[in-house]
Structure 1
Amino acid sequence: MTNTATGSATAAIPGTAQAQHRILRVLVASQILSGAGLAAGVTVGALLAQQMLGSTSLAGLPSALFTAGSALAAVAVGRISQARGRRPGLAVGYLTGAIGSAGVITAAALNNPALLFIALFIYGAGTATNLQARYAGADLADPARRARAVSTVLVATTLGGVAGPNLAAPTGDLAHALGLPTLTGPFLLSGAAYALAALVLALRLRPDPLLLARTIAAAEPAHATDDTHSPDQTRDSRRSLVLGAVVMILTQLVMVAIMTMTPVHMHDMGHGTAASGLVIAIHIGAMYLPSPLTGWLVDRYGRIKVAAASGVTLLAAGVLAATAPGDSVALLALALALLGLGWNFGLVSGTAITTDTVPLATRAKTQGLVDVAIAIAGATGGLTSGLMVAATSYPALALTGGLLALALIPAVAATAYRR
């Protein structure tokens, strides 16, 4: 297999291990910054739209827009990375997210919903880039430690992701002092954070992990990189690629749908911005903080078992969110923590499955296309969540999401049986 050969060659070339360590350090720094950036839209995006439009039914639209924007950005970042390497692809993605943040602030200041929607679409580039960075961490990793390399990049998002929502109140005060709407405060933070992340990557992500991985592969003997497979192997690879994508798509759909409407639900229950910011901070922490453990579990016990655990955990999150009293911040925080953990299980296991399957020659492009499907799922979850809550209730949304996550069980069981 190409991936195994590449992994052994990587270990054999002097300096490659040091390069991987340096790359992971740079990615960690950029992820800390970008984590704060992506948390802004999650924390106040729905509230800003509700305030400007005066309608709860469209409160999920911001999440749908910036996840739809992340779909387009995933294609662009993937193609730029394929052609020129991870460094320019990721840097351009974060810079685009910073421009989107500035657009949101301008739209709110002008009270222009149309501009807000356009800006939120552009802002989604930051979310897509944050996710694409996990692939950069895996490019030079040994296959036996690939999930742990992915998790190292993901866990770095925790620091910024947890800090971001808790800065909603102080950044709101800053925005007010500048004569801007209070809810634009977190977008001031996201604009600065995304711009700094782009700068760090542009200056420090050297050597480029994808380009170096190609150089290593090109230096191997021809028989070590033989990509020819039997028809059965080709079919198995396709099934694995589809499984990895399905795992990440379903977990993203369920997570975004429930997460998007939680701040609105809490607002309707009389909770303030600080309380919803705390719950979202706990949620984002649970999305990323368990990554080292998840990576170890995936490498130790296998991708399939952790993918199945994702479905069970998301079901528990949906049931708890549906049954938690509206005045209980603690139970809602626990439900959102389980929601984040289930998402983490799905993302790390799905990423490992996908990276194991895709050959190096088309890796970045294919990963970008997979992330497009993930972004579309997030957009669908964000858009339909507001409509469903308006038509039914938040508990109905949460329970539906949890039940939908159970579809992962037969999917992974079918793949495991074929193996």
Structure 2
Amino acid sequence: MLDMELIRKDREAVATALAKRLDPAEVNRALDEIQRLDQERRALITEIDAERQRRKSDARAYAAAKRAGSAPEVSAPEAERKQLAELESQLDEVQSRLRDQMSELPNLPADDVLPGGKEANRVVKTFGEPPAIEKVRDHVELSRSLGLVDYERGVKLGGSGFWIYTGQGARLEWALVNWFIDRHIAAGYEFLLPPHLLLDSVGFAAGQFPKFYDDVYHLDRESAPRGQFLLPTAETALLGTYQDEILDATKLPLKTFAYTPCYRRESAGSHSDERGTVRGHQFNKVEIFQFTLPEQADAALEEMLAHAESLVEGLGLHYQRSLLSAGDASAGMKKTLDIEVWMPSTGKYKEVSSVSWAGDYQARRAAIRYREPGGKQTRFVHTLNGSALATSRLFPAILEQFQQPDGSVLVPEVLRDRVGTDRLTPLR
């Protein structure tokens, strides 16, 4: 959520930044309505405060008159009590409408983020070279020939968009998850295993609701009167863990991570380059997260990027880093950089990690603050998150980039002890 004070003081700058993401006319309409509601709210607060002050003054005068023996034997008129209640009710309604309007505004993109959609994304780093493969097999063919994934029985169990890792495929998937966990712990991140069912208030705090409310799986209201949903990413849970808390400034940055499956309603396997495990309704991901002081955020973003990239490099995969445009990044993020691995079968790169800086946007929604030692005022923390990493896309990238002419696939050296072999071979 944006800072209302910033809108009051520098509406033009806010409008210019939001125009990177939204139509300028739409931005101005939204800001007009927000400022109108803000003015109405402030006027009502002034009126209510004046009415309360008048009542206090009348009460003091009445008490003094009573002590002097001249107070009338009457109470405050019922109409006056009703008027204050009506004003307070109006204020509640205006504040609710203002909160709804503010919650729908996206974050302000960072200065170096370009306007536009995917066409405006910029590749800012490349690691390695695409492997030279004479006859490329795609990861679906390789998974089947090597006995790593059972797509048909996955559909039988869960429907379209689900699969089962089998045999050495299950070992490879789990080896990735455990290697990531070990690397994050070594980098100073605290390991959390959060619930997979979260309250709707947590989705709002993360900035996913209300805009992306329909993208996740919800429990029915009879089963979950407070509203619950299956988490689409551990980012949501890691942020919500510290909702409504004041953090110790001396302990920032606070670095946490979690492993969870991710559950999403998005269209699975609808494009030829998103077959197999590239996109589905349930996939595994390890997520890193940081809560920082505002002045620590730039360094934290670079550290998280370097850490996530070290994992892809450790696996020996060719990848690129892209700075996303304002229109292609998540609405709640100021800045997002994607780490994208090369998929030989399609000649395209696929994102395996998004490392993002939210500024204080999420912290305002979640009421996560810090207080300087000895200080009284609190300020909002900055939050950053990063996939480290999404295994459902690394898995096919490993199969395709390390495939051999005889149909086998080399296992990345860092995973061989965990998988129990240095090569995956076709079933006989």
TM-score range for the pair, normalised by the shorter chain length: under 0.3
TM-score, normalisation: structure 1: 0.24
Structure that is richer in strand per residue: 2
Higher alpha-carbon Rg: 2
Q: RCO (CA 8 Å, sep 6+): is it higher in 1 or 2?
A: 1
